[in-house]
Amino acid sequence: MQRAIQRVGVVGASGYSGAELLRLLAAHPEMEVAAATSREFAGRRIADVYPNLAVYGDMVYSELEGTGLGDLDVAFLALPHGESMALGARMAEGGARVVDFSADFRLRDPDAYPEWFGAPHAAPEWLGKWVYGLPEIHRDEIRGAALVANPGCYPTAALLALAPLVAGRLIDPATIVISAASGVSGAGRSPGAALHFAHVEGNLRAYGVPTHKHTPEIEQELSRLAAGAAAPEGAGAGAQGVTVTFVPHLVPMARGLLATCIADLSGGAPADLAALARAFWDGEPFVRVVDGLPETKYATASNLCLLGYAVDRRARRAIAVAAIDNLGKGAAGQALQNANLMLGLPETTGLGGAGVYP
Amino acid sequence: MQRAIQRVGVVGASGYSGAELLRLLAAHPEMEVAAATSREFAGRRIADVYPNLAVYGDMVYSELEGTGLGDLDVAFLALPHGESMALGARMAEGGARVVDFSADFRLRDPDAYPEWFGAPHAAPEWLGKWVYGLPEIHRDEIRGAALVANPGCYPTAALLALAPLVAGRLIDPATIVISAASGVSGAGRSPGAALHFAHVEGNLRAYGVPTHKHTPEIEQELSRLAAGAAAPEGAGAGAQGVTVTFVPHLVPMARGLLATCIADLSGGAPADLAALARAFWDGEPFVRVVDGLPETKYATASNLCLLGYAVDRRARRAIAVAAIDNLGKGAAGQALQNANLMLGLPETTGLGGAGVYP
Amino acid sequence: MQRAIQRVGVVGASGYSGAELLRLLAAHPEMEVAAATSREFAGRRIADVYPNLAVYGDMVYSELEGTGLGDLDVAFLALPHGESMALGARMAEGGARVVDFSADFRLRDPDAYPEWFGAPHAAPEWLGKWVYGLPEIHRDEIRGAALVANPGCYPTAALLALAPLVAGRLIDPATIVISAASGVSGAGRSPGAALHFAHVEGNLRAYGVPTHKHTPEIEQELSRLAAGAAAPEGAGAGAQGVTVTFVPHLVPMARGLLATCIADLSGGAPADLAALARAFWDGEPFVRVVDGLPETKYATASNLCLLGYAVDRRARRAIAVAAIDNLGKGAAGQALQNANLMLGLPETTGLGGAGVYP
Amino acid sequence: MQRAIQRVGVVGASGYSGAELLRLLAAHPEMEVAAATSREFAGRRIADVYPNLAVYGDMVYSELEGTGLGDLDVAFLALPHGESMALGARMAEGGARVVDFSADFRLRDPDAYPEWFGAPHAAPEWLGKWVYGLPEIHRDEIRGAALVANPGCYPTAALLALAPLVAGRLIDPATIVISAASGVSGAGRSPGAALHFAHVEGNLRAYGVPTHKHTPEIEQELSRLAAGAAAPEGAGAGAQGVTVTFVPHLVPMARGLLATCIADLSGGAPADLAALARAFWDGEPFVRVVDGLPETKYATASNLCLLGYAVDRRARRAIAVAAIDNLGKGAAGQALQNANLMLGLPETTGLGGAGVYP
């Protein structure tokens, strides 16, 4: 019996992440795009707005209102932070299968949201009911889940780099410092003086220090990992939770994200962190521990996460570095990986594996 | 009856074009890579040299010598100009199916080769026996052909832009000027002072003026088009042939190629060159005439050629602009398109269609 | 007797050209900045808005209104096209010395303005009374002039490249095609989707074809040059005037402009266009004819114009290429060169000569 | 009495740092370049090798041998690490005034050199006799000194950012982590696969972890600062010395360097680190503490060091960020600042102060 093609929709399909998802879906053999909404471009052909998406032929962007999201097998919400809350809750109530790109449903602790986002959550009763969609850590929960909160780009990289060290108790979680950097597409498609090419070229800067909104989800997941497998699933970052210093930077490149994580080694310095990480992530289709240190370019336009490790023996610190494409494993690729799991499809379907280089 | 998977090989698979072809082949459902040679990296795992090609797992680069090219369904030669001549001729004699990336077999006029390349051809008897692999113009010859000379990146763009105008006698071929520009990957992977990032960033320059080696193939094909369908196949750019001025530039970007072609309008200025070109290329899966003018970025990592047209009524000139990815439609993508045709596969197999943006 | 320091003002000093002029003025030994206006940043310290201009200490941007422009030795108007018209005319009536960066007073033909700019000129009586400020061509008029219209960036490059060929009757002016490209700062500081870093990186495109507003001033000056020294000063591009096809492009770099000019050779192909141009521009402090072809990067942050020439003997065409910094010789540097001439200072004062590389 | 112009020479004047120094010297009113050596370009005109240095007219690069370095008022050695040792020692013996760009004479501890550089020092007796040329910390020693070791680019940035915190005992020196990133010119002018534009564009990576050769000079100077003013001058980083973890990155930009330094706060979190740093560096002509965090672009082509500070109250850590131009304050600019001090000239002579933006 042939499997039916899954009908999916992308809400916010003209932002960078949404358009990247359209690109991936065009090559997905088991999904078809039944709807793609865009406030800005509703009524215009996708292929005219994004000539790279010429394969969409005459299909047009639609308005969110009137688009039959309820009929979809999966809806992807690629909206800015804060805008998914109400829609996500409404769709959840309706029993829909949803992958949300925003930070709106990533935190489990209802108190954490207003603390970090400066406003109350519109549907706090739904916090804790969405699965945190990092398949390498929460695969079993994602399989068959209806509501998945797609992780942030920085957390994806940092967590995949740190998980082997924290779970293996190789570092002291209280000493974790994350210095990360992203390409400019991570800041979204809305123009602004700080994103003007002439300003960004040849420019490097830190930003959002020390209150970047990805911090609490990093801490939530590291706390879980630190607490070990025995910890109750619903526990947030409590008193014993991990607190990190997170310093993001903006780099003059369109795509790509590097997370450099540094922490004190606990106990004796291990011989080979890379080998340990390679064993920890053994079998993961999208995680690859390289020899030496990873470079973001090799992950471009892919769902790959490349990891590398070093030990500073003099200072007795571990250095863990992760490279991803912020729009790939950091957004649309991971969302598709989650959707594959939710629908019972092979996890790598439509995700190829090869990055674009050079 | 299920079709057998085609076994293909890539000679020179660690250069930019060869590695791009490996990337495309990894996603091709009807081909498998039986051999990938590299002088520099023989014996090393592809996935270690190019972590973006992690999907190649433990497959290693091989030496050309000893690699059984004769057993392949298709061999792709991604070697520098001049290095394909002997190997290509030897494989042709052996009856192999070959797509050659170099300029070695693109010219039909045996006299043109030494004039432009400054050295005699090693196998002049094979000139004229390879099909010029621009499917949009020579599709019927490519179908079933054994020997295909993959066009240069600049000629691909310029010819697709100009063909509708020359074939339609809308411009005076004697007045054609081509000002084109390529990303740096077009210069190949070998490092050099002129390709150092610090030199290229923020730098724009013309080069190779007025003797760039892509000029004769542009003239050969334009001459054919100008002479019309009745012209004998073997004719080169003779006395009546088209002579163009071609000025290539190097632009600070890794990929992408734009060809801006300018020529005097012949007779009355036509109302809408874009509409005429759209009709001319109707049905072509990889050619798209945009409204306005095309941008290279929308073709990145794809086999797309985006075209745009304008008329300078004051000066009575036509402006035709083509945007491609020099490694896609300008090299590896087009080679795969040719191989699909040679093997009787659907032409678009494994070529997706969506470009990577942003 | 010691010369008094010249008190100058910059109107629109927070745009890219205005801020570049502030940078140059900070090192000018004979000028001091008495006023710098900015609508957007009035009241804020220059050094806070532009930390690179830390040398301005506590000086703040002022509102145009209330700034005593009348007391200045020279006022520079670095306003967008259309916004200088009224102010420039008012200052001209008041007898001020003004260098205007906009296109508002560059054309001499009163009919040309509305044709190209789509709106009537606010002070057409002043057209023709401003000197076109290209010192290498109009030095004598600029010396002592009160009103100077600073040329556009593209015209500056194209005219310096073509002047030796047109004045020397080496090319047929009716066949001139200019394919030029600029860095993104040429589009101004206002953000927009088309200037977002993620859109511009790895992107090359033509724009403004075939009606770019720099076209008429190129034609005006080429017509004068073609008509020879005997032509009356006030004559615009009349029936015998030169008409060019001008195709500008946008390149992913912050600064830099390259103009590639192509035209049919008239009569016998000359032996060495570079040598002729070198003789033509002999003694010019900012024009340098290089061996081979120029690269924009070597002109960065300088007032240099680098020229290179080639002959396409097969097609019998000349290729003339100019490289400048669009904010240097293409805007602020040239404005300062003009002001030096207007004030009787040595022309190179404060203009150094060395570009920033790499 | 008029002061005589100082005759200076640049050894290695065709590398990026040496050429940048030539650019600066061209505008220095009290110095003239008497000699500029280059192994690669000896005999060629500087202005032909570097058209941006057109102001050098017909002056040619000379061979080191035969160049009368002994007659100079100051010699700048802009040679690769390891190549200054012998020449520097010989010139020191001859009583010359030398500013050395390399790491060869920066360390005071004779044991540290072979440990970090993997080879014995050729003239260990001279270690400790060169002043570490960071004027903001060692101004008095530099004034009148004959031998100055110009600091590395990373140490310059990190030390200026951290000095106020370490000297003020605001952080625990044992916890310092430095995550820094440099533009590609920092890797030098020699081409290589890792510096090819097509590889670097869109690429971010860490490198040299954890044994970058700038580490020991950072530790040497932080140790001094931590030990306080009473510490003996000759003391290296001993048992009580500061050990840091230093992770450098390579960013796709030509120039610019950002050092992000993170350390545990000691005692009560201070209200305003920026205000403290502003007071600490009060009067320094090239150090500017910005509001918020600094961006590298504003320091381009200048001798500026822009600093910014933040406090992570949750993790009780300080974040100190410095932005410089690696070729400016990180190399040639600082060398000139040192030479001004050595010669008794005003420290800012020829160093302008304005950076190039955008």
Chain B: give the shortest CA distance to residue D43, in Å: 19
Q: What's the confidence (pLDDT) of residue B43? A: 98
How would residue B237 be classed by pLDDT, with cut points 50, 70 and 90?
very low
Contact list in A for residue C40 (CB cut-off 8 A) is none
Whether C203 and B244 lie within 8 Å, measured CB to CB: no
Whether D198 and B191 lie within 8 Å, measured CB to CB: no
What averages of pLDDT result for each successive group of 10 residues across chain C (358 residues)?
84 98 96 97 98 97 90 96 92 96 95 93 92 98 97 98 96 97 97 97 96 96 84 46 97 98 86 95 97 98 98 96 98 98 97 92
Tell me the torsion sign for CA atoms B39, B43, B49, B50.
positive
* Segment among B101-110, C188-197, D6-15, D234-243 with least mean pLDDT: D234-243
Interface pTM, i.e. ipTM: 0.95
β-pair type (A74-77, A205-206):
unpaired
* CA B29 from centre of chain: 23
Catalytic positions of D: 153
Contact list in C for residue B177 (CB cut-off 8 A) is 177, 179, 262, 317
Nearest CA in chain B to A283: B57
Testing the interface with B: which of D14, D196, D300 to mutate, by most B Cβ within 10 A? D196
Whether C251 and B210 lie within 8 Å, measured CB to CB: no
Closest residue to D193, CB basis, from B183, B184, B191: B191
Chain A: give the shortest CA distance to residue B198, in Å: 11
Contact list in B for residue D197 (CB cut-off 8 A) is 184, 195-197, 199-201, 252, 254
Mean pLDDT, rounded, for D56-77: 94
pLDDT at B6 over 60: yes
Closest CA to C104 of C205, C216, C210, C222: C216
Average pLDDT value over all residues in chain B: 94
Chain C: give the shortest CA distance to residue B312, in Å: 5
Closest residue to A52, CB basis, from B22, B254, B298: B298
Chain B: give the shortest CA distance to residue C95, in Å: 38
Whether D296 and A245 lie within 8 Å, measured CB to CB: no
pLDDT tens-digit series, residues B80-112:
888 999 999 999 999 999 999 999 999 999 899
pLDDT tens-digit series, residues A82-104:
899 999 999 999 999 999 999 99
Whether A296 and D204 lie within 8 Å, measured CB to CB: yes
Nearest CA in chain B to A19: B357
Whether C297 and B262 lie within 8 Å, measured CB to CB: no
Chain D: give the shortest CA distance to residue B198, in Å: 5
Question: What share of chain D in percent tops pLDDT 90?
Answer: 89
Closest residue to B253, CB basis, from C196, C199, C204: C204
Q: What's the confidence (pLDDT) of residue B291? A: 95
Closest CA to B331 of B74, B13, B89, B69: B13
CA B67, CA B73: separation in Å to the nearest integer? 14
pTM of this prediction?
0.96
Closest CA to B255 of C183, D194, D199: D199
Whether C183 and B199 lie within 8 Å, measured CB to CB: no
Q: Which residue out of C69, C77, C153, C222 is catalytically annotated?
A: C153
Mean pLDDT, rounded, for D327-352: 97
Closest CA to C304 of C353, C256, C347, C258: C353
Mean pLDDT, rounded, for A181-195: 96
The DSSP bridge partners found for residue A298 are none
pLDDT tens-digit series, residues A117-140:
999 999 999 988 999 999 999 999
pLDDT at D3 over 70: no
pLDDT tens-digit series, residues A60-74:
999 999 888 888 999
**Partner chains of B (3+ C-beta pairs under 8 Å):** A, C, D
Tokens representing D207 are 């490198």
Chain A: give the shortest CA distance to residue B141, in Å: 27
Contact list in B for residue C254 (CB cut-off 8 A) is 202
Tokens representing C161 are 């490249």
Cβ partners under 8 Å of residue A156, min gap 6: A134, A305, A324, A329, A330, A334
Whether A203 and D314 lie within 8 Å, measured CB to CB: no
pLDDT at B51 over 70: yes
Closest CA to B45 of A290, D202, D205: A290
Question: What share of chain B in percent tops pLDDT 70?
Answer: 95
Whether D354 and C297 lie within 8 Å, measured CB to CB: no
Which residues of D sit within 8 Å Cβ distance of C? 16, 19, 22-23, 26-27, 47-48, 50-55, 185, 201-202, 254-255, 288, 290-291, 294-295, 297-302, 304, 306, 352-358
Tokens representing D331 are 């190399």
Size of interface B-C (CB pairs under 8 A): 158
Contact list in D for residue C23 (CB cut-off 8 A) is 354-357
pLDDT tens-digit series, residues A315-353:
999 999 999 999 999 999 999 999 999 999 999 999 987
DSSP label at residue C151: P
Whether D288 and C54 lie within 8 Å, measured CB to CB: yes
Testing the interface with B: which of D40, D184, D195, D197 to mutate, by most B Cβ within 10 A? D197
CA D59, CA D9: separation in Å to the nearest integer? 13
CA C254, CA C271: separation in Å to the nearest integer? 37
Q: What's the confidence (pLDDT) of residue C2? A: 56
Amino acid identity of residue D269, one-letter, is A
Whether C319 and B245 lie within 8 Å, measured CB to CB: yes
How would residue A2 be classed by pLDDT, with cut points 50, 70 and 90?
low
| Angle between helices D215-227 and D153-167 in degrees, nearest 10 | 20
Contact list in A for residue D296 (CB cut-off 8 A) is 202-205
Strand, coil or helix: what is C311? strand
Whether B201 and D16 lie within 8 Å, measured CB to CB: no
Whether D358 and C302 lie within 8 Å, measured CB to CB: no
List of domains in chain C:
6-151+331-342 (3.40.50.720), 154-326 (3.30.360.10)
Contact list in C for residue D54 (CB cut-off 8 A) is 288, 304, 353-354
Closest residue to A206, CB basis, from D201, D243, D321: D321
Chain A: give the shortest CA distance to residue D227, in Å: 19
The DSSP bridge partners found for residue D33 are D8
Q: Which residue out of A142, A149, A153, A289 is catalytically annotated?
A: A153
pLDDT at A235 over 60: no
pLDDT at A237 over 50: no
Q: What's the confidence (pLDDT) of residue A269? A: 61
pLDDT at D229 over 60: no
Half-sphere exposure of residue D224: CA atoms within 13 angstroms, side-chain side = 18
Q: What's the confidence (pLDDT) of residue D2? A: 56
pLDDT at D286 over 70: yes
CA C332, CA C315: separation in Å to the nearest integer? 38
pLDDT tens-digit series, residues B168-191:
999 999 999 999 999 999 999 999
Closest residue to D191, CB basis, from B16, B184, B192: B192
**Partner chains of C (3+ C-beta pairs under 8 Å):** A, B, D
Q: What's the confidence (pLDDT) of residue C269? A: 61
Chain A: give the shortest CA distance to residue D66, in Å: 39
CA C20, CA C22: separation in Å to the nearest integer? 5
CA A256, CA B116: separation in Å to the nearest integer? 41
Contact list in A for residue D300 (CB cut-off 8 A) is 202
Nearest CA in chain B to C194: B295
Would you give the end-to-end CA distance of chain A in angstroms? 42
Tokens representing B106 are 């693109």
Closest residue to A191, CB basis, from C191, C201, C254: C191
Residue D284, φ and ψ in degrees, nearest 5: -70, 125
